[in-house]
Amino acid sequence: MSTKQKVLVTGVIGSDTHIVGNRILSMALEAAGYKVIALGALTPAGDFVKAAVETAADAIMVSSLYGQGELDCRGFRELCIEAGLDDILLYLGGNLVVGKHAWPEVEQRFLDMGFDRAAPPGTRIETVIEWLARDFAARDQRQHPVKA
């Protein structure tokens, strides 16, 4: 059984122009066998969703480094659901909030907003690739359960 190459939409949300890390991540994801649709910097939430619909993407990976991730990502899962992307994986990473906050608290805020994963600054690319493999396997298992 052949498996379809997974499509990932990446970009930097909102008014953020910090693109270098996102480019490095995109290149590593391509090297790991994913098809990457890189939207670049200054990307509105709606553009991520539109690109995901147009490319039949399997995941959206949002980057935010200027500390306004909470504001920029509010309602993101709802936009996906409205567009028929109920089961799309949503990842978010970077310096997501202004000020010093314990990471578990920050992470929980974004999980509560509907993101599947939130990655703090300094998260290794290998970790993200492992998360994707695990999350896609779990999603595929839910969609195509093995019958005994």
Rounded to a whole number, what is the distance in angstroms from the first to the last CA of the chain?
Answer: 18
Angstrom CA distances, 49 to 3, 15, 126, 138, 141, stand at 23, 17, 25, 22, 24
Give one DSSP letter per residue of 121-143, joined into a string.
TT--HHHHHHHHHHHHHHHHHHH
Active site residue ranges? 16, 18
Q: For 58, how many CA atoms within 13 A lie in the half-sphere containing its CB?
A: 17
